[in-house]
Structure 1
Amino acid sequence: MATVYVAGVGMTKFGRSPQTLTELCCEAVSRALSDSAIQEIEALYLGVMNPEEFTGDSNIASRIAEALGLTGLPALRIETASSAGAAAFHAAFQAVASGSYRHVLVLGGEKMTHLSTSATTRILAEVIDRQERQCGATMPALAAMITERYRKRYRLSPARLERLLCRVAMKNHLNGSRNPYAQFQQAITEQTYFSSKFVSTPLRLYDCSPITDGAAAAILTSEKTDVAVSGVGQGTGPVSLRERDSFTSFRATQIAAARAYRMAGISPREIDFAEVHDAFTSFEIISTEDLGFFPAGRGGDAVEEGKTALDGPLPVNPSGGLKSRGHPVGASGVAQLVEVVRGLRGSAGAKLKREAKRALAQSTGGLGTNNFVTIVERTDSPLMKNLPLPPAPPPGRKRPAIKRTQPPALSEEGRIETFTVLYVTPDGFLPPLALALIRDRQGSLFMAQGEDVSHLKIGREVYLRQVGGRNVFTVKSHLMKVREALKKLLSRVPPLPAQRRRPGKKETP
């Protein structure tokens, strides 16, 4: 396998833009070419999540190729939800590493801000499970439910969790204030964070990445440059929340990281800084644990102790991350690679306190269902100097096993596994909306909509029923539980024997 190098990188300023998606992509490519000694390419790999609904355009790879004057060259559009840009980068890496092409242009972009928040929320929610959407679930709602479950598992008080999430938001906005390409270039205070409204409990506005326009590009080559791609990895996971083995980690990230580390021949301790997918502040904490940077349940402590700050031992999201730089979903995976390359070259907006030799980028597709990890390093680093790249690990193999497409029948009772109260609801649902993942008496998991937002707590018993095709739950009140207990108790008491009547005189008329 040939070594793959990065020749040039470029990106637009992220935020609200009057430019079209095509114009944004052309600008990003122009910037990448200005940064590259390689000026002629042989193929285009494009990551865009959903231009069909965001802009009304399909056949987008051909459109972009034509706009770039590349008609005639191979052009391929790749989509893996919000990790589409990283997926395009990995496909381009394989194309160069295999010898199919020498110079490949990688491009990611998305145009989103011209639509209403509700319309954008609906489009983004299409990547999650249909049954969960029918109950009103959105990406922020499911992220909030994962966050609440994380709080419960690691015994964090609600106040403690909020402080940790606040620290992530403040850190990333401070980093973004130094990034000229970031959507938000202003630091926030603790007061600003806590005065923001809840989007979906426990997540506030400043816990969620914004709606963004933008594009980013990179040129990969087989000709040696100052930066090489030393490790790549990809992993997948269940689309629905109810099919997961864990609600407090992303197995797809763990798989991708293990493959990337093995390919690069390093451990997590040898990473100097990282760009991590923080579409939600809690996802940065969970992802740093999945990447092996910190033990499970300790990622928040690391943020609080300053370990992931710009002057810490392992800076995380020195660019500001998706939270502050912005999140044009198709572009974010490539933008992360642009940022790590600039960080290694010392040309990033936020300057690291010490020289970096090796960096990592982690991108999440959907709700952790198609994740990528990429490791890049300077070619003058001790590991890369005069050493060939180790061979990639063999791919995991599984025999296809077709799973059932319909969930099991809903039983009448269950317990809350995790929950949220959604305040920014999709069209057709009124806020506030209670949502919970329920485990019924048979052990099956269901997403359900609550009748009200009171008495929600993990472990609470609920009644379940279907209304208009949606699962609905009612939390059992104390009075209901007393009535049920009395009913069960009385059902065990044997009936009293019938009283025998003593014979008596007949009454005379």
Structure 2
Amino acid sequence: MSAVSVIGRGITSFGKKDESIKSMLIKACREALIEAGRPKVDAVFVGNFASGALANQEILGSVLANELGLGRIPALKVEGACASGGLAFRQAYQLVKAGEYKTVLVAGAEKMTGMDTETVTKAINLAMDNDSNEGASGLTFPGFFGVLANRYMYEYGAEKKHLAMVALKNRQYAISNPIAQFRKETSLYEIMNARPITDPLGLFDCSPISDGAAAVVIQQGENGVEILSSGQASGTPLMQEAEDLLHIPATYESAKRAYEAAGLEPKDIDVVELHDCFSMTEIIAIEELGFFEKGKGWEAIEQGLTKHGGIIPVNTSGGLLSKGHPIGATGIAQIIQIVDQLNGHACNQVGNARIGLAQNLGGTGAYSTVHILRRKGA
């Protein structure tokens, strides 16, 4: 089994865009292919959650292969809720590493702003187990993570201001990211007094509805940023089946598998992009990924340990909260930020970053992928 590297990347801006999902995908893919030196592509994998419901377009793999003139190569769409991009990347990586393909184009996209709020909300809620009493009761993602936030504050003494500090940190990073959806300065006061969504989460604590696309080219060899490992795990989509509301097993297990496969530990990681669909999710994730003890994540946030100069800079892109969250594109966009960090030309560059980690979550913990990458020659 050979080394596998990311040799090209392309990404659109995130936010409300007057473009089709096809147009955004083609733009990101062309940029990635040009940066990779226009290699012969053996297969196409596209991460996407709801292009049929939200963009009136399926068969994204075939559409891309045809529009890019790649020939009659294998192409497919991968769906795993918000982890669709990470899952597409993992499948491509495994097949390249196994020798099935030499070069694969991996893309992700979502067009979410073209429909009314009710339609978008219904589509997003398809990522929950709706054939259950939780579905019948109308449980939503803000509702689920609001429950987690209340429970976390009760158990460990955190406060609403610690959620706001996550949102503020990520907004401050997004200001320097040219593709980010939200680049306007804000304050802790504004975040804490924003329109409530579900107690204790306010507007800034929730990732936005976004459009956007991202793409990478991966290839056998060591000609780019090397993919050291890939971990994946799943978990129950039902709150009532969770043994511990403050433990997301899929995140923990996917990280464990990725660390073991890479022969690394959390202390070896220099920069992280993780799935902050809500501010509370970031606090739980930094614990599940092993960077801080359980119940201590809020203290790390308060002490600035997840920023430049701390123990581990987290979501230097601005994260889902401020960079934006076009669902299918998110996992690939996380990989791109890590690749840029390891290549030394990212927004909010971390000094001497050698090893980076990207974690992509689907649903309320139904899926999680973790990828660990290393700078070329490191």
TM tier, smaller: over 0.9
Query: Separation in 1 of the partners of 2:260 and 2:349?
Result: 29
1:236 aligns with 2:234: yes
Does 2:186 match 1:184?
A: no
Superposition pairs of residues 466-485 of structure 1, within 5 angstroms:
none
Are the counterparts in 2 of residues 249 and 287 from structure 1 also a CA contact under 8 Å?
Answer: no
Counterpart in 1 of 2:266?
A: 268
Aligned to 1:364: 361
2:273, 2:63 → 1: CA distance?
30
Q: Which residue of structure 2 aligns with residue 81 of structure 1?
A: 81
Select the residue among 276, 301, 318 that pairs with 1:278.
276
| Number of equivalenced pairs | 376
Asked if 1 retains the 8 angstrom alpha-carbon contact of 2:10 and 2:216, the reply is: yes
After TM superposition, give the deviation of residue 244 of structure 1 in Å: 1.2
In the alignment, structure 1 segments of 5+ residues that lack a partner are: 382-509
> Secondary structure at 1:218's aligned position in 2?
strand
Structure 1-normalised TM-score?
Answer: 0.73
Structure 1 CA distance for aligned equivalents of residues 222 and 211 of structure 2:
33
Q: 1:357 to 1:220 in 2, by over 3 A?
A: same
Q: Do residues 376 (structure 1) and 377 (structure 2) align?
A: no
CA distance in 1, matches of 2:204, 2:139: 20
**Alignment-derived partner of residue 134 in structure 1:** 136
**Distance in 2 of aligned mates of 1:42 and 1:228:** 19
Contact persistence 1:22–1:67 (CA under 8 A): no
Deviation for aligned residue 1:304: 1.0
Secondary structure at the aligned position of 1:215 is classed as: strand
Q: Paired residue for 1:29?
A: 29
Give distance in 1, aligned partners of 2:229 and 2:320.
22
When structure 1 is superposed on structure 2, of 33-42 and 366-375 the one drifting more is: 33-42
CA distance in 2, matches of 1:313, 1:276: 15
- Distance, in Å, in 1 between the alignment partners of 2:297 and 2:38 is 40
- Offset from partner CA, 1:82-138 (integer Å, 9 cap, x none): 100000000000110000000000000000011122221111011112231221211
Q: Greater helix percent: which structure?
A: 2
Flag structure 2 segments of 5+ consecutive residues without an equivalent: none
Task: Name the SS of the counterpart of 2:127 in structure 1.
Answer: coil
How big is the shift at 1:2?
1.5
Residue in 1 that maps onto 2:115: 115
Contact kept? 1:7, 1:218, Cα under 8 Å = yes
Structure 2 CA distance for aligned equivalents of residues 11 and 325 of structure 1: 12
Choose 53-62 or 241-250, whichever is displaced more: 53-62
Deviation by residue 1:460-508 (Cα, 9 ceiling, x = unmatched): xxxxxxxxxxxxxxxxxxxxxxxxxxxxxxxxxxxxxxxxxxxxxxxxx
- Alpha-carbon shift at residue 379 of structure 1 (Å): 2.8
Matched AA of 1:110:
E
Q: Deviations over 1:191-243 (max 9, x none)?
A: 21122111011110000000000000010000321310001100100011111
* Distance in 1 (alpha carbons) for counterparts of 2:118 and 2:321: 19
Kindly state the Cα deviation for residue 38 of structure 1 after the two structures are TM-superposed. Answer: 4.8
Report the TM-score, using the length of structure 2 for normalisation.
Answer: 0.97
AA paired with 1:116? Answer: D
Contact persistence 2:59–2:76 (CA under 8 A):
no
Identity %: 36
Equivalent position SS for 2:257: helix
Matches within 5 A, 1:128-207: 128-130=128-130, 131-154=133-156, 156=157, 160-207=158-205
* One-letter identity of the residue aligned with 1:35: E
Could you say which residue in structure 2 is the equivalent of 1:97? 97
Q: Deviations over 1:242-269 (max 9, x none)?
A: 1111100210011100100001101000
For residues 366 and 321 of structure 1, the distance between their equivalents in structure 2, rounded to whole angstroms, comes to: 17
Q: Distance in 2 between matches of 1:162 and 1:98?
A: 47
Give the equivalent residue in structure 1 for 2:10.
10
For the 8 Å contact 1:176–1:324, the answer to whether it is kept is: yes
Query: Which residue in 1 is equivalent to 2:58?
Result: 58
3-state SS of 1:314 partner: coil
Q: Which residue type is aligned with residue 105 of structure 2?
A: L
Provide, for residues 53-97 of structure 1, a one-character-per-residue CA deviation record: whole Å limited to 9, x for no partner: 011222222222222222411001111111000000000001100
CA RMSD after TM alignment: 1.1
Give the letter for the 2:367 counterpart. N
Aligned mates of 1:114, 1:71 — CA distance in 2:
31
Counterpart-to-counterpart distance in 1, 2:333 and 2:354: 19
Alpha-carbon distance in 1 for matches of 2:86, 2:359: 8
Listed one character per residue, the Cα deviations across residues 132-186 of structure 1 (whole Å, up to 9, x for unaligned) are 12212111111111211222222x2xxx421100110000000000000101112
Letter in 2 for 1:127: A
Alignment-mate amino acid for residue 266 of structure 2: P
1:232–1:375 Cα contact (<8 Å) kept: yes
CA distance in 2, matches of 1:228, 1:44: 19
Deviation at 1:30, TM superposition (A): 1.5
Mark the structure with the bigger radius of gyration. 1
Given that 2:161 and 2:192 are in contact with CA atoms closer than 8 Å, whether structure 1 keeps it comes out as no
Corresponding position of 1:425: none
> What is the CA–CA distance in structure 2 between the aligned matches of 1:285 and 1:363, rounded to whole Å?
14
Q: Distance in 2 between matches of 1:280 and 1:178?
A: 21
Residue 216 of structure 2 corresponds to 218
In structure 2, C-alpha distance between the alignment counterparts of 1:115 and 1:161, rounded to whole Å: 35
1:362-387 CA deviation, whole Å, 9 max, x = no partner? 00011111100000011322xxxxxx
